[in-house]
Amino acid sequence: MSSSAASIFTARVPGGGDRITQLLERVHLTITGLVVVGGAVLAWAVARWAGSRTIYMVAYAAVGAVAIALGIARRRMDMAAIRSDLPARMREGQTGEVELTIAANKRLSTLLVTEQLHPHLGRASRVAVASLSAGEELQHSYTISAGLRGEYEIGPTIAHWSDPFGLTTRQQVLTEPVKLIVHPAIDAVDDRILARMWEDPPMRPPVSKPWPTGFEFYGMRDYVPGDDLRRVVWSAVAKTGRMLVRESEQGITDKITVLLDTQREWHSPGSPSDTFELAVRIAASVSARHLKDGFSVTLMVNDGELITAARGERAGMLLLDHLARVQPATAGLDAIGERLLGSARRGAHIVLISPHIDTATTNRLRIALDRGGSATVAKVVWEESDPASLARAASLGCRVVQVPVRTSLKRAFDHQIGGGQR
């Protein structure tokens, strides 16, 4: 395949050019073909003005050449493309290999095969086929890199070819696009549910119960075969002579409501928005942690509930699918105020993730706490954050985690929850 033909094909990849290129694709002309057609029109006008039969013949010859080229390029290529199996889901930052096999049933020459990719997955893959005999196969591998969460399409795979004169071009879809869901990245965060108001004096909540690998100290009991020896309290063994193991406390509830503030007004500008993507990553990390601990997780955004009472790995996959698709919205947190209070009445632990805490949200959270619920506020911090919103969150007396943009979630949560802000 010549370098000039390759450059013509490269400029004509769908979605990769300007309006002129898209117009050329619709009329199946290359830039050279468009110049020839324009020259033929100009020559016909000059011939009509000058009354020259010779110039008329030149104009008609140019139009005839383009018509013949269109007829030659009109043929369909007897070929097929097979794309290797792709995962239906990937994690943000993950890479994968794709293998494309091009098979010819008849002899082919001077082709360009392109595999369309979203920019967040990488650059479109292009294979120039100089010649391919009947029954021969050509294999091509390329890498996709999931740069940002979302739902994307890989493909279609399109073959482009031209006539021998390079005046026209045609294309043929070889494989249809397939969907790929990119989940947000997950960090190992620890949002522990504590006994809160019952810590001092030490007193268990009325609905508290033991949890195998729980969070706060619940008590000790006699060792039974099968218990993990790491839970044995050896100091108690030395004092009492009995094998005693430590039990932990589940906390006030096993129902978690993760509330992600999607109001576009308070997030940083840009597409994608840094604060919005950070908030989604916090929601994914917190939800994954609680699902792993066996809790029931309800995911809410400003437009309503995305998933209700999810438990287990399969539900966790569905929850991450929702978070992969979620986008900024215009609705504020007021739209789900009643649902928030309803979660508090059911005794849920609420995790609010937002870059802005206003007075109305503060009042609702205070009512939720008074009704026996518990709450953690993950405050997304950036250079234009309102400092008063952080003060409002701190005034509630619940746990507040400040998460600056471009920081480690694990470090932020460990510092302000695991590190001792009790």
Q: What single string gives the DSSP state of each residue in 152-178?
A: EEE--EEEEEE-TTSSBEEEEEEE--E
How far is Cα 295 from Cα 251, in angstroms, rounded to an integer? 11
Q: What six digits make up the tokens of 331? A: 């609705």
Nearest to residue 377, comparing CAs of 395, 356, 359, 401?
401
Is 255-418 in the same CATH topology as 3-183?
no
Contact 136, 46 (CB under 8 A): no
Q: What is the pLDDT of residue 248?
A: 62
Nearest to residue 372, comparing CAs of 390, 346, 339?
346
Q: What is the pLDDT of residue 50?
A: 87
CATH number for the segment(s) 255-418: 3.40.50.410
Q: What is the pLDDT of residue 279?
A: 94
Which residues, including other chains, have CB under 8 Å from residue 157's CB and lie 6 or more apart? 81, 83, 100, 113, 114, 115, 116, 173, 174, 175
Taking the C-alpha atoms of 19, 22, 23 and 25 in order, what is their torsion angle to the nearest 10 degrees? 160
Amino acid letter at 267? H
| Cα atoms found within 13 Å of the Cα of residue 234, Cβ hemisphere only | 3
Which CATH class name applies to 3-183? mainly beta
Q: What is the pLDDT of residue 87?
A: 87
Q: What is the pLDDT of residue 189?
A: 85
Q: What is the pLDDT of residue 194?
A: 46
Domain boundaries, the chain: 3-183, 210-249, 255-418
> Would you give per-residue pLDDT tens digits along the chain (422 residues)?
333 333 334 334 444 445 777 777 778 888 888 889 899 999 999 988 988 889 889 999 998 988 888 888 777 788 889 999 888 899 999 999 999 999 988 888 888 899 989 999 998 889 888 888 888 899 999 999 999 999 999 989 999 888 888 888 888 899 999 999 999 999 988 776 444 333 333 333 444 444 444 455 667 778 888 777 877 889 888 988 899 887 665 455 678 889 999 999 889 998 899 999 999 999 999 999 888 878 889 999 988 889 988 888 788 899 999 999 999 998 888 777 777 777 666 667 889 999 988 888 888 888 877 776 778 889 998 888 878 887 887 787 778 888 998 888 888 887 776 544 43
How far is Cα 59 from Cα 167, in angstroms, rounded to an integer? 16
What's the pTM value of the predicted model, to 2 decimals?
A: 0.74
Place of tokens 């309800």: 298
Taking the C-alpha atoms of 64, 68, 73 and 74 in order, what is their torsion angle to the nearest 10 degrees? 100
Q: Which H or E element spans position 151?
A: strand 150-154
Q: How far is CA 295 from CA 25, 134, 256, 279, 339, in A?
A: 54, 59, 7, 21, 19
β-sheet with 157-162: strand ranges across: 125-132, 108-115, 157-162, 169-175
